[in-house]
Structure 1
Amino acid sequence: MRKRMLLILAVFLILGSLAGCSGGNSAEAEKTEDGKVVVDFWTFWGSETRRPIIEKIIEDFNNSQDKIVVKHTYLPWGDIWTKNLASVAAGNPADVIINDINNVSQRAKNGQVEDISKYLDDSFKNQFYPHLWETVVYENKTYAVPFNTDTRMLFYNKKTFQEAGLDPNKPPQTWAELEEYAIKLDKKNGETYERIGFYPLWDNPNASAWMMNADNGTGYIEDGELKINTPKKVEALEWLLKWQDRIGAKNVQAFKAEFGSEQSNPFIAEKVAMWTDVGTFYTQIRDYGQHLDFGVAPIPSFTEGSGHWSEGGGFVAEVPKGSDSPEEAVEFIKYLTGPEAQKYWAMENFDNAANIEAAEATMSELLGKDKEVYEATVRNLEETKMGPVPVEYPEYHDRINPVIDNIMRGKISPEKGLEKAEKDVESIKK
């Protein structure tokens, strides 16, 4: 009889333990001695630049009300998401986490993030750029709030333009002009390049962005339909291979081997005359390239009038599944993504705010080159495409990227490579 009672007790203990790890919201919220609900906030912002900024925002929120206290936990890039998934599975996650914007639907489908729709009114979404808001909605429910975003721009050295006989106030508008300008900007000593006018795969965007640009803004997957193997994407890869052939793979690799950050960046060191990168690249130029006379422009369009399409990314604030204080977590998210905090983040980081009012306020306060570059990135959002991962094709990039690498190495033709990539992605449809 005693053994039977012990067995029953053991079963109840196990069931109770499993219930505690089920990801529900039944756990009691942690509170301070004075009764404030503790919201544990995880980010990967631990640098000397960004950590003080996010902690100032947290401090301002904590001082703005007397019901919630947010505690910041820094976790290194990469580790944060592994630990997030482990903590969700164990039933003891953070209350708010900064996560990738293009994978929200995947996390929603997998039950890793809370549906926060009931905490937001219908007008809340109007604060944010529509193409960003689309990424946080899955099956008509909201699972995150956009925090920031980015877009790719063309930075060009005006001094080298003048040296090459090009108008420093007229950057290339099409791929044909980009190639024409680059050849004029090349500076060689025999077979060795002292300066390369341009190479399309340094540093952003990658091959997928050029294919999307060529294909009238069409990504790999549109409305659940595969658009990987299209004539324009094949043409884009053939164009990329021509750049490599003209400059020479050895020269491309030799230049890349010398790349570094900050003042050793090849554009800042004036070893490359035109450079594509996200808008925040400007902060490197501002801090380490004061000698540069540069301009910024949209990525050239495939043909005249086809669109200066750019890839976009960014991050969201979300509530991991199983948070014991989701309502308080959302209250903090509302502040974090509101105009005041977003403007402060944008002004200090030169980041593209997801909040429209904050972006416009930032533009109005910046001056000189700061204003010129930030305004250019905000305008560029109109032709920036996000790449949300469809739930039917999880991790589809893992099937495509190795094929693209083999195409660039000459192991397979663009046409056959994209045909293979599309079949490989189709095979993982769930």
Structure 2
Amino acid sequence: MKKISFLTLLLVIGLVVAGCSNDTSGGAEGEVGGEITVWAHPFTGDAEKEEEMWDKISTSFQEEYDAEVNIEIIPWANRDQKILTALAANNGPDVFYAIPDQMPQYADVGMLLELDPYLEGYDMDDFVDSALVSTTWKDKLYGLPILQSVDTLFYNKSVIEAIGEDPENLPETWKEFEAWAVKAKEQGFYATSFQGGGSMNNTLYPYIWQAGGDIVSADNEVLINGEGGVEAFSFINKMYKNGWIPEDSVTAMEQNALWEDGQMLAILGSGNTLANLQNKGKIDFVIGPPLKNKKQAAYGTTGMFVVPSNTDNPATAAEFVKTLTNAENQRTFNKVTQYIPARESSKDIFDEQPFLSQLASYTQYTLPGVINPKGRDIMPMIQAQLQAMLEGDVTPQEAADAAAEAIEGAVSQ
């Protein structure tokens, strides 16, 4: 049997959706009831606790709407292929979990149900603005957010004191961080982490946003080699050449050992980093705000639930997504998962957890990566140019220009 490529599956989905679009384009018609299937993933290592969480959420919905909800937990691995294959065969879920780089791919080929017609009278104002960026494609809403995360700098207090700085007065700008980086290098420490072999979401992109730039717009305008992009490439190059980031930063996937050995001033981390630090208890740390140059910004994912456009029960599926992401269920879900709620009012679950409360206050600055159907495709192209720059093969301007040329080729296909 021939292997079906991801692109081929997308095209198949487009045909499937086109074939059934007459059934789902009539707006929010239909009564809520019947049966739906929801695909979610394991969000923690505690399957029993998650099962209790889903039982609570689904039972309350079933009691209110006399509808049956089947929750199925599917693995993270190969989730794209599983979802696309099931929907192409017209036996997929009625609701499923998606992340920001999936949503525009699916929405652009007509795979997702537009939710706007189902939201009359629904409280949208409580959602964090940055979370809705991830669920919107071409001015239409295709999902409702359930969780967010924030990547920002975690500082080792012992190293701060060793370089003669104040852990209660952390850097807020590139200039201030650079001053600390110089002192850290003089005292034999690295300033921060940089995993050049990992996702651009955690490496290059935040610096581009902080410099006031962007990568590529939703309408395929390539921006990476603008002033902000070149400034970001230049700043990263400066950190590497000056030894502020480790020697293996060109291809590194992680640099936790250097951080855990006390050789690093700060590491870029998120809620998972916080959990690890609190569990191990070896490093006395403080969390800093996302840095800014022209703009304060950070990467942060958004998890959402979406409805495929070929569902047999769109009204019930849409209503379940609304219920799942209301303020109370955001509290239920994120108390268990320890992610940040995507509703402002639900962040009160962290009132007694200062570090998580601090991280939650930074979601206003987060961006979810590249919201474009080609977002995944262009990342390795950009990464190759970033790595070539760090290896000394090209200048920051040349790296940015080459990345722009590669992006233009990808989005024009």
Q: TM-score, normalised by structure 1?
A: 0.78
1:245 equivalenced with 2:241 (yes/no): yes
Alpha-carbon separation, structure 1, partners of 2:251 and 2:136:
42
Change (3 A) 1:292 1:255: farther
Describe the superposition over 1:290-316 as per-residue Cα deviations: whole angstroms up to 9, x where unpaired.
2322111113322xxx33221232211
1:90 pairs with 2:89: yes
Distance 1:154 1:394, change over 3 A: closer
Q: Answer yes or no: is 1:332 the counterpart of 2:315.
A: no
* Alpha-carbon distance in 2 for matches of 1:205, 1:85: 27
| Aligned position for 1:185 | 184
For residue 286 of structure 1, the aligned residue among 265, 278, 285 is 278
Cα offset for 1:244?
1.9
**Using the alignment, how far apart are the partners of 1:132 and 1:207 within structure 2?**
21
3-state SS in 2 of match to 1:38: strand
Q: Compared with structure 1, are the counterparts of its residues 116 and 52 closer, same or farther at alpha carbon in structure 2 (3 Å cutoff)?
A: farther
The answer as to whether partners of 2:181 and 2:244 remain within 8 angstroms in 1 is no
Q: How many residues align?
A: 383
After superposition, the C-alpha distances for 1:56-107 in whole angstroms (9 at most, x for unaligned) are 2321133323322332322222411211011111111111111112442331
Shift in Å, 1:169: 1.3
Q: Give the 3-state SS of the residue equivalent to 1:396 in structure 2.
A: helix
> C-alpha displacement at 1:228, in angstroms?
1.0
**Distance change >3 Å, CA 411–CA 44, structure 1 → 2:** farther
What are the residue-to-residue correspondences of 1:18-417 with 2, within 5 Å? 22-23=19-20, 37-45=34-42, 47-49=44-46, 51-64=47-60, 65-66=62-63, 67-186=66-185, 195-201=189-195, 205-214=202-211, 216=212, 218-222=213-217, 224=219, 225-247=221-243, 251-252=247-248, 259=255, 266-288=258-280, 290-302=281-293, 306-359=294-347, 361-363=348-350, 366-367=351-352, 370-371=353-354, 373-390=355-372, 395-417=377-399
Letter in 1 for 2:210: N
- Where 1:156 maps in the other structure, the secondary structure is strand
The 3 A distance-change label for structure 1 pair 237 and 26 is: closer
Q: Is the CA contact 2:129–2:364 (under 8 Å) kept in the aligned structure 1?
A: no
Residue 410 of structure 1 and its aligned partner are, at CA, apart by 2.3
Write the distance in 2 (CA, Å) between the matches of 1:116 and 1:172: 41
Give the partner amino acid of 2:238.
Answer: K
CA contact (8 A) 2:147 2:304 kept: yes
CA deviation string 1:216-250 (max 9, x = no partner):
2x321346332111233223212212222232998
Q: Distance in 2 between matches of 1:273 and 1:89?
A: 49
Give the partner amino acid of 1:156: Y
- Corresponding residue SS for 1:226: coil
Distance 2:16 2:266 in 1: 57
Uncovered stretches (5+) of structure 2, i.e. residues with no partner? 1-14, 25-32
Structure 1 position 429, deviation (Å): 2.8
In terms of Rg, which structure is larger?
Answer: 1
SS at match of 2:362: helix
Which segments of 5 or more consecutive residues in structure 1 lack a partner in the other structure? Answer: 1-17, 28-35
CA contact (8 A) 1:220 1:228 kept: yes
TM-score between both structures, scaled by the size of structure 2: 0.81
2:311 aligns to what SS in structure 1?
Answer: coil
Cα RMSD of the aligned pairs, angstroms, is 3.2
Give percent identity, aligned residues only: 20
